[in-house]
Amino acid sequence: MKHIFLALAILICGSMFSQNGNGAVKNNYIQLSGVVVEGDSLLGVPFVSVYKGSKPVTITDYYGFFTLVVQPGDEIHFASLAHQNAIYKLDDTLSLKHYYIIQRLVKDTIMLANIDVYPWPTKEEFKKAFLNLDLGENDYDRAYKNLDKNQLSYNERNLKMDSQSNYRYAMQQYLTKVYTAGQYPTISLLNPIAWAQFIDAWRKGKFKKKAPAKPYDK
């Protein structure tokens, strides 16, 4: 029995020394550096969480750069709120001490549910506004009000010309002036527009003689 235990001890010690000539297990650590970029614009993604397996290790800086210590065969996870998570698998046959990678992240699109925003802060305020809502006037009443004869007559007398009408009138006056250039001016006795302007000015009292201004009494 003693010989068996002695043989097992010799085998275990031999396997340990075979891994490292100094008798210590050799750990192959690697300095992994890189940059995380956008999938479409290739711009650096800042503040991306970098995990080694399930353990958080570091985050990227403002320009998307990161660096950490890994071992061959490790899985590096990259997580960002606005992007889809990504995993980078290291080969288990790496032999150098420094490696550099470029990791691309794809933007993650999230469809949010529709939200209705109301001007009432509470349900009680909404209930009060709903009960006090005045629904007496409908589309028919508004159409009847817009077609009121008195209102239409008032608009016809007081409605000013728009920019297009003013431009057309100015161009007509200019063409009339050019047409009669070097001749006696035409008489507008049969011009309906001139008669309409004359009647409108007469109704507004533009032809009334103004009273002379009173001298200032000290």
Output the tens digit of pLDDT for each of the chain's 218 residues: 544 444 444 444 444 444 444 444 457 899 999 999 998 888 999 999 999 988 899 999 999 999 999 999 999 999 998 899 999 999 988 889 999 999 999 998 878 888 888 888 888 998 898 888 877 778 888 888 888 888 888 887 787 778 888 898 889 888 878 877 777 766 667 777 778 888 888 887 777 766 665 555 54
pLDDT at 28: 86
- Per the CB < 8 A criterion, the answer to whether 52 and 70 are in contact is yes
For the chain, domain boundaries: 30-105
pLDDT at 182: 76
Query: pTM for the whole thing?
Result: 0.42
pLDDT at 191: 75
Q: Partners of 122 in the beta sheet? A: none
Alpha-carbon span 105 to 101, nearest angstrom: 13
Token pair, residue 122, equals 């509470």
Q: Which of 62, 68, 70 is nearest to 34 (CA)?
A: 68
Structure-derived torsion over alpha carbons of residues 125, 131, 137, 138, reported in degrees to the nearest 10: 90
Q: Domain 30-105 is in which class?
A: mainly beta
pLDDT at 19: 47
What does the pLDDT look like over 113-138, one tens digit per residue? 888 888 888 889 988 988 888 777 78
Token pair, residue 52, equals 């080694």
- In sequence order, the 6+-apart residues with CB closer than 8 A to the CB of 70 are 29, 30, 32, 52, 76, 90
